[in-house]
Amino acid sequence: MKWLLRGLGATRLLSAMGIDPRRYWLLTDLFGELAERREVMNQLGRDGFTLKVASWLYGFIGAVCCIGFLIHAPTTATYLLTFVLVTSLMLFFILVSEAGNSLVNPVEGVVLAHQPIDGATYTAAKLTHLLRIVAFLALALNAVPAAASLLLLREPFWYYPLLHIAATYGAGLLVALLACALYGWLLLLVPAPRLKSVAQVVEMVPLLGLMFAGQIWPWLARKVGDWLPEGSPWRRNLGIALPVVAVVIAAMGLRALSGDYLIRVASIAHGGGGGRTKPRRSRMGDVVARLLGGPPARAGFAYTARMMRRDWAFRRQLISIIPCAISPAILLAKGVHTDPFSGQFSAVHVIPHVFGIVLFLVAVSMVYGSDHKGSWLFLLTPSGAFAGFARGVYGLLWISVIGIPHAVLLVPLAWYWGVAHALLFAVFSVSVATLYLGLVLRLIDGVPFSKQPVTSRGVYFMGIMFGGVLVISIAVGLQYLLVFRSVAVVAGVTVTLAGAAWFVTRASLSTFTTAMRYNLSIESAEVGSMFQEVDA
């Protein structure tokens, strides 16, 4: 691939953009070698297997989109504009996250900062993998629509498939430039130590916009429709002007990445992690230590709580949890007026299971962290301390995800349903969520934050999540049809669930402890193989 690009004149193009071609090719080879040695596994564009699986998924989505045009044959402009917008939006969500992961968490940049490499060369090499994402996913999403266009369009012409692919590829490249330029503007406007925190907020904005698109889009369409002047020439000129403005904004943002980016790498890499805050002894940690296992439990509680707030990889995973974290409040607002004991279905029936989804997402993300190479510190820990450590981690998850949210929910529930029904539902929900916590605890297969993040996990967990949603839907239906018909039945089921949660949690804590010891033994063997004892 590299030789093909050189043959197409890529070296001259790089030189024209102020990029040192020799160092650029060296850096791309270095990043590719690190990916092949599985030392950098958190970039989608360098993970060939995951990228291919994602391409098949996007190909399926593109085929499904074509089904909507079978009934009503679209015009050429409508068909092309639809897939350009779909491609742009889907790539935008991926590329904003991937560009942020590459630029805002430049771990290897700290090592390369003392080398004679300018910012333009480094960032160009660092972001090359984004082009692979565009190349794979844009083609996968539009291959079927482009081929099917000759059958679906009202007035098809033979070269339309080529036009379709070219337009969607152009839109994908523009989105990639805008995603990179976004972080260039952040680099200009935000102090380097705060860039990580601000970048994560920026990653949340598209997701929140997607969540509330149903409320935002009608208002925005009405306002834009009122603002736009009448007449097709004005709208056509505006359609031409918007891409030009986007290119200008992208160029200005990209220039910020070509300046003193490497000089700020150290501040960016070490900033935003909460390292400047003064550690304080947690009273809740004291309670956990007293109830669950003494100092080791306090250590597990404090360590996990601290790392959740400062670890870059985990905080990035939290972005995907936002919809589930907001869901209880939305469901409560929709169903709080209907008492679930009245025999009518209410949205609050889903709330106990939403906590299960949140716990699942937290559990599968918790073992991965940016500071995974520091896990050797746990090799110094006595083996008997890991049982208490595991109970401390469990205590933190129970208090933060189950205990505190249910205490907050109890207030509005008691206001609308009365204290008795609200308290019984809260205890039922706590029992269900605690059972979920006992089950997902088995997914933490090692010391929290001790493994390198990998992109391939997302492909597998997507299928698991679909299956989980199906199981939860069945559970909610059975809960409504069989359980919430009598207060006595709910109370009996609650006691049964609490007992099951107790037994499952005991077994899962033992499994969690064994997993931590086992993975540390592997770590110890790998460290030992690097050295050879020499007799004096």
pLDDT at 434: 94
Pair of tokens at residue 281? 């002894």
- Segment 381-404 mean pLDDT: 89
Mean pLDDT of 430-444: 92
What pTM did the predictor assign?
Answer: 0.73
Predicted pLDDT at 531: 47
The pLDDT of residue 217 is: 64
d(CA 90, CA 323): 17
What percent of the chain stands above pLDDT 90?
10
Short-list 514, 515, 521, 513, CA closest to 379 = 521
The chain-wide mean pLDDT, for the chain, equals: 77
Q: What is the pLDDT of residue 471?
A: 80
Q: How far is CA 329 from CA 184, 322, 334, 362, 469, in A?
A: 35, 12, 9, 19, 19
| Region 153-174 average pLDDT | 85
3-state secondary structure 108-133: HHHHHCCCCCCHHHHHHHHCHHHHHH
- Most confident range, picked from 151-160, 420-429, 471-480: 420-429
Is the pLDDT at 507 greater than 90, yes or no? yes
* Selected residue with higher pLDDT from 501 and 525: 501
Q: What is the pLDDT of residue 4?
A: 43
Q: How confident is the model at residue 226 (pLDDT cuts 50, 70, 90)?
A: low
Q: Across the strands, what pairs with 368?
A: 451
Chain segment 181-206, per-residue pLDDT in tens? 888 788 777 776 777 777 777 777 77
CA separation, residue 169 to residues 151, 173, 253, 279 (Å): 22, 6, 21, 49
Q: Where are the domains of the chain?
A: 2-270, 283-520
Residues paired with 451 in a beta bridge = 368
Q: Is the pLDDT of residue 225 over 80?
A: no
Q: Can you tell me the distance from the alpha carbon of 504 to that of 101, in angstroms, rounded to the nearest whole number?
A: 37
Residue 400 has pLDDT above 80, yes or no: yes
The arithmetic mean of pLDDT across residues 291-300, rounded, is 84
The answer, yes or no, to whether residue 459 has pLDDT greater than 60, is no
* pLDDT (0 to 100) of residue 150: 79
pLDDT at 500 over 90: yes
**Which residue has 């504009």 as its token pair?**
81
Residue 158, pLDDT > 90, answer no
Q: Quick one: pLDDT band at residue 484, thresholds 50, 70, 90?
A: confident
Is residue 74's pLDDT more than 90? no
Q: Which of 94-108, 207-221, 231-245, 287-301 has the highest mean pLDDT?
A: 287-301
Confidence class of residue 503 from pLDDT cuts 50, 70 and 90?
very high
The 10s digit of each residue's pLDDT in 254-292 is 776 666 566 666 566 666 554 455 566 677 777 777 788
Q: Name the nearest CA neighbour of 491 among 419, 404, 420, 415.
A: 420
Q: What is the DSSP letter of 75?
A: P
What is the torsion angle, in degrees rounded to the nearest 10, for the CA atoms of residue 474, residue 480, residue 485 and residue 489?
A: 50
| Greater model confidence, 309 or 463 | 309
Comparing C-alpha atoms, which of 42, 22, 197 is closest to residue 108? 42
